[in-house]
Amino acid sequence: MLNGFASRRGTGAIGCTGLRRDSARWDQQLAFRNALRSDAALAERYAKLKRDLAARYGDDREAYTDAKRAFVQTVINNRKDGFGVGE
């Protein structure tokens, strides 16, 4: 897995992660993405969480990401039936 992070003054932060297509992490990310695409209420809850965490943590990317982790993991765990993998 590759990770990158760049920030420019006044423009916010940009994160980038590269994953192997044949990895479990790839499948988890697809399942999470597809869960959000298929459930508008879930997507809105995630959007609200991200807004709240951005307001709370500002430029502290690690704290922001750590605070999202439980939500993301819960969605992934609930999609262990393979929903969305390979789509």
Task: Kindly report, residue by residue over 26-75, the tens digit of the pLDDT.
Answer: 888 889 999 999 999 999 999 999 999 999 998 888 899 999 999 999 99
| Burial of residue 36 (number of CB atoms within 10 Å: 0-12, 13-18, 19+) | middle
pLDDT of residue 22: 84
Q: What's the pTM value of the predicted model, to 2 decimals? A: 0.71
- Does 14 have pLDDT greater than 80? no
**Residues 19, 22: Cα–Cα separation, whole Å:** 9
- Does 20 have pLDDT greater than 70? yes
**Domain boundaries along the sequence of the chain:** 23-87
Q: How many CB atoms lie within 10 A of CB 35?
A: 19
pLDDT of residue 8: 46
pLDDT of residue 63: 94
